[in-house]
Amino acid sequence: MNRLIFVCMGNICRSPLAEAVARAQLVQHGLDSVFTVVSRGTHAYHLDLPADPRAQALAEQHGWALAAHRSRLLQPDDFQRGDLLLVMDRQNLRDVRAKAPPHAVGRIRLLMDFVSSPGADIPDPYYGEAADFERALGLIEQGVLGLTKHLLRLHNAGALHLE
């Protein structure tokens, strides 16, 4: 099975929200049997801690559960065939590419590359207010929707072969 890996710095704000949004989108579009979804962080600042309470509250408002989430660090086995690594900003992109083996570099993408804003960052809301989390979630939803449409096109064309 192919794996979508959402990556941010600490794996407590943006990437857990992206994981939750992607799970819901994949179920809605019948791709949940094709993909598994996880999230990771590039830094171990919050290793094994739950998602930020503000992210949890926002997820709960949308019917997504983040209470069981625990921050995980990006590991070498996260670069296997079939894995697509979707990062939240250009710093994450540099950090993940620096850790990636050469064969995996082409499967590391900014999430916003799948909307009309390629190269755009999803700002880290960690030091912000609730409105910053809502803005980040709005961008994540746009990115995941664009990604889902892209994956559906590939799947329907019989060209979805990440493995």
Catalytic residue, chosen from 52, 83, 89, 124, is 124
Active-site residue 124, yes or no? yes
Active-site residue 8, yes or no? yes
Could you say which of 3.30.465.10, 3.90.1410.10, 3.40.50.2300, 3.40.50.1970 is the CATH number of the domain covering 2-156? 3.40.50.2300
Catalytic residue, chosen from 8, 13, 83, 95, is 8
Quick: pLDDT tens for 104-163. 999 999 999 999 878 899 999 999 999 999 999 999 999 999 999 999 998 887 766 554
SS3 (DSSP) at 126? coil
pTM: 0.94
Q: Do residues 18 and 55 lie in contact, with contact meaning Cβ atoms separated by under 8 Å?
A: no
Catalytic residue, chosen from 13, 14, 40, 52, is 14
Q: For residue 41, list its beta bridge partners.
A: 8, 73
